[in-house]
Amino acid sequence: MFKRDPEDCPLSQEVTPPPPAVTEAERDELRRQGILLTSLQELYTWGNSHSVWPLNFGLACCAIEMIAASMAKFDIARFGSEVFRPSPRQADLLIVSGTVTKKMAPQVIRLWNQMPEPKYCIAMGACAISGGPFKQGYNVLKGIDRFIPVDIYIPGCPPRPEALLHGLVQLQKKIQGFKLTGPDAPRHLRDDQPCNCPVPEFGEHDLEPPANPEVWTAPPAIVRKD
């Protein structure tokens, strides 16, 4: 019986194992020596997360806390977000700080559409998240996330400046976790995600449409069991 030489079989050849991954401790040691190991994805997300420029825009009492976060006591400049831009075309962070009335909602969405990608949104305070104490009012929007995508929610009435800084840090961590390709890519790098949101118009009894189905759907009804 003919026997094949094992050396001729490619399955029997030794496969060179991949080089071991560099640990964080080794990266820190190399960084102290002036050597930086990184990738294009890490460089992109690092620069993006540490240069988030908010829009100089406020709605209600939460805007006072947002302004306080930029003062010397709290110093939002430590996180690279000290540049509050007066134009939406120069900003990439919309902090919805306060009560969003239905009369003001179309203007907020217009500002969002005028901001270039990549852009992010923070809903600051109970009013921006769900309407707050005015939720049952006919003139108050029950959450800005009904029309634009929200990245970070900051509860409170109003939340303190420290809470806004914590929300900004969480946004930075979220940006650093983005992938440049694949299903986990951010919104601005995906073709199936719209960049702009439709601006509602004033209807006879409510905004038309009352919500953006691309970003918000009504939760299922709660069925109580006796």
Which neighbouring-strand residues pair with 157? none
CA pair distance 110, 120, nearest whole angstrom: 14
Token pair, residue 17, equals 């194992």
Q: What is the pLDDT of residue 15?
A: 62
Four-point Cα dihedral 188, 199, 109, 137, nearest 10 = -130
pLDDT (tens place) for every residue of the chain, 226 residues total: 555 555 555 555 566 666 677 788 888 888 888 887 778 888 888 888 999 999 999 999 999 999 999 999 999 999 989 889 999 999 999 999 999 999 999 999 999 999 999 999 999 999 999 999 888 788 999 999 999 999 999 999 999 999 999 999 999 999 998 888 887 788 888 877 777 899 999 988 899 999 999 888 888 878 877 6
Q: Specify if 186 maps to a domain.
A: yes
Q: Give me the number of domains the chain comprises.
A: 1
Q: What is the pLDDT of residue 195?
A: 79
Residue 95, C-beta contacts closer than 8 angstroms, at least 6 positions apart? 54, 55, 57, 58, 66, 121, 122, 124, 164
Is 61 in contact with 22 (CB distance < 8 Å)? no
Q: What is the pLDDT of residue 109?
A: 96
CA pair distance 57, 63, nearest whole angstrom: 8
Question: How remote is the C-alpha of 74 from its chain's centroid?
Answer: 22
Q: Specify if 6 maps to a domain.
A: no
CA pair distance 40, 19, nearest whole angstrom: 20
CA pair distance 138, 2, nearest whole angstrom: 89
Residue type, 86: P
Q: Specify if 31 maps to a domain.
A: no
Q: What is the pLDDT of residue 82?
A: 87
Stretch (H or E) spanning 107: helix 105-114
Which neighbouring-strand residues pair with 121? 94
Residue type, 94: L
Q: What is the pLDDT of residue 221?
A: 79
* Residue 100 CB neighbour total at 10 angstroms: 28
Q: What is the pLDDT of residue 91?
A: 95
Q: What is the pLDDT of residue 37?
A: 78
Q: What is the pLDDT of residue 125?
A: 95
Domain that holds residue 127: 43-202
Q: Specify if 157 maps to a domain.
A: yes
Which neighbouring-strand residues pair with 123? 96, 153
Q: Specify if 23 maps to a domain.
A: no
CA pair distance 163, 136, nearest whole angstrom: 26
Q: What is the pLDDT of residue 99?
A: 94
Q: Specify if 14 maps to a domain.
A: no
- Block residue for tokens 């009013």: 127
Q: Specify if 94 maps to a domain.
A: yes
**C-alpha closest to that of 84 among 68, 100, 99, 73:** 68
Is 105 in contact with 70 (CB distance < 8 Å)? no
What CATH number is attached to the domain comprising 54? 3.40.50.12280
Q: Specify if 224 maps to a domain.
A: no
Token pair, residue 209, equals 């449409």
